[in-house]
Amino acid sequence: DGGITQSPKYLFRKEGQNVTLSCEQNLNHDAMYWYRQDPGQGLRLIYYSQIVNDFQKGDIAEGYSVSREKKESFPLTVTSAQKNPTAFYLCASSRGRFASGNTIYFGEGSWLTVV
Amino acid sequence: DQQVKQNSPSLSVQEGRISILNCDYTNSMFDYFLWYKKYPAEGPTFLISISSIKDKNEDGRFTVFLNKSAKHLSLHIVPSQPGDSAVYFCAASKQGRNDYKLSFGAGTTVTVRA
């Protein structure tokens, strides 16, 4: 089955800790993304990667870091610098640019709660 | 700075009737629009899209209309079914180097009543 796998589904973080959310895709997509969803708000882009070994900041990158060492994998680290990390995190991928008529496919999401 | 706005947070409709979801955007450079459907605790799934060269796109029970002059698009679901109860997000992107970025609205929660 082709798709995007995020893990863990639920994660609790203590104040001051870094945590890493995993995202793996077997769709052979070049581009990958991380979005954050907060109640009553749309999805906001944290980071995106157009190709292996390259990534760009999205609209709310502060307090987050990513890597793209393999085409299939795009892990997101939520650092202690992120002041309000409790949210629903969504990983996504696409074949290419949206202007080409492509669409974006999402994983099931990961809930992160700071305790 | 929200460039894509869904001003109705919720919509309740009777089964079999039409659901109309609205979306407004402020950036005239947007030229590709998508609708996504999301169930609780799941990732959004792609529903339908439209390019700015068209004013209508239809796929089964779902039709999207685009009014570029008004910077407005709408999603029509006919007839509405109980399984359509979900949150619907409107999204937009623009040509250019940054066309890997999608701007999302806040979503509209649709409840289909039996």
Please state, in angstroms and rounded to a whole number, the distance separating the CA atoms of residues B89 and A42.
Answer: 7
β-pairing, A10-13 with A110-114? Answer: parallel
> Mutate which of A98, A103, A110 to disrupt the B interface (most B C-beta within 10 Å)?
A98
How many other C-beta atoms are found inside a 10 Å radius of the C-beta of residue B107? 24
Instruction: Return the residue matching tokens 């890597």.
Output: A67
Q: Are B9 and B106 a contacting pair, CB within 8 Å?
A: yes
| pLDDT of the residue at A83 | 85
For A74-91, write each residue's pLDDT tens digit: 999 999 888 889 999 999
Please state, in angstroms and rounded to a whole number, the distance separating the CA atoms of residues A19 and A40.
Answer: 25
pLDDT(A100) > 80: no
Q: What is the CA radius of gyration of chain A?
A: 13
For A9-26, write each residue's pLDDT tens digit: 999 988 889 999 999 999
Instruction: Return the residue matching tokens 């999603």.
Output: B75
| pLDDT of the residue at A95 | 87
- Nearest-neighbour CA in chain A from B113: distance (Å): 22
Inter-chain residue contact A97 with B44, CB threshold 8 Å: no
Structure tokens at A17: 């800790």
